[in-house]
Structure formats: C-alpha cells, structure tokens
Amino acid sequence: MKRRAILAFMLDRPGVLNKVSMLIRKKMYNVDTLTVCSSRKPGVSRMTITLREDDQARVNQVIRQLEKFTEVISVKELDTDHSYWREVAIVKLEVDGMHLESFRDRYNFEILNQQANEICILQVAGSTRNIDAFLDEVGQEHIIEIARTGVTALEK
C-alpha cells in the first residue's frame, strides 16, 4: 500500500487531536505515524498524519472531512516528490564500537551515550527507509530498545 502524508494546521484547542483521531478511526484507517507540534503562529498547531492507502478517493474523503472541523485552518496531502519526510529514532544497542563505526559513512547518527560494557545510545535521523535500513544492518540481536518520533514532513 502507498504511504500517504496529510498535513493539517489547526487551532491549538483541547480535544482537537481526539476529533481527528476519531475521524480517521471511523474511516477504518490505520495511522502509521502522527506528529503534532506548535507552528510559527501562536495558537496554531501543525499535524502530520501518515497512513497507508492506495485509493486516492479515500484519502481525499479524509481531507474533506478534516476541512469541515471548525478548528482546522488548512489540510492537504503532501506529494512525496515535492516534500521532505523525516523522522528520528533513539536506539539503545549492545554493540562493539568498531562495528558501529563501520556504519558512519552510510548513516546519519550521533552517539548520545557510550558505556564501558558496549551499550550505547544513539540518535539516527533521516527518512523512514534509511532508519529501517540502519536497524536492519546493525542487526536485531544488538538492539535493546527503540523510540521513534514518527514522520514529520515539509514541502519543498
């Protein structure tokens, strides 16, 4: 299924996130990621919703329904060719330092903490595909814990 990103700007009021999530649940979508932050304009929040859907008509229906909410200022789907989609993962690993350094040229990561017993915590930033590739290459047997932010997106 095709991954879609919907960008919405809305008034920063209690219950708005719940209204949005209830609408998406009613339409029987499974949200991949949901990120919300304040925007440059005071009192306005920025929400990025990613979901998987091949049917453009169904995505358009969700957008039209979101536009009906009085708290929503604007909403649109972001085109993957004309926007940047990124996320951050914080990963706790039990791995040899030399093994980790072998990935330095291919992946954008920062070591946040390194302990003597080969446990380190690092931050990986980039596209979802890039983070997934990093985790696969490191190997599941080395991963202790992962925290991911979810996708946020910005038009070019």
Whether pLDDT at 116 is above 80: no
> pTM to 2 decimals?
0.83
Q: Could you tell me which CATH number the domain at 3-82 has?
A: 3.30.70.260
Q: Please report, for the chain, the start and end positions of each structural domain, with discontinuous segments joined by +.
A: 3-82, 86-151
Q: Could you tell me which CATH number the domain at 86-151 has?
A: 3.30.70.1150
Half-sphere exposure for 30 (CA within 13 Å, toward CB): 6
How far is residue 110 CA from its own chain's centroid?
19
Whether pLDDT at 28 is above 80: no
At residue 26 the predicted structure's pLDDT band, cuts being 50, 70 and 90, is: confident
Query: Which residues are registered as beta bridge partners of 90?
Result: 123, 147
Whether residue 143 contacts residue 137, with contact meaning beta carbons closer than 8 Å, is answered with no
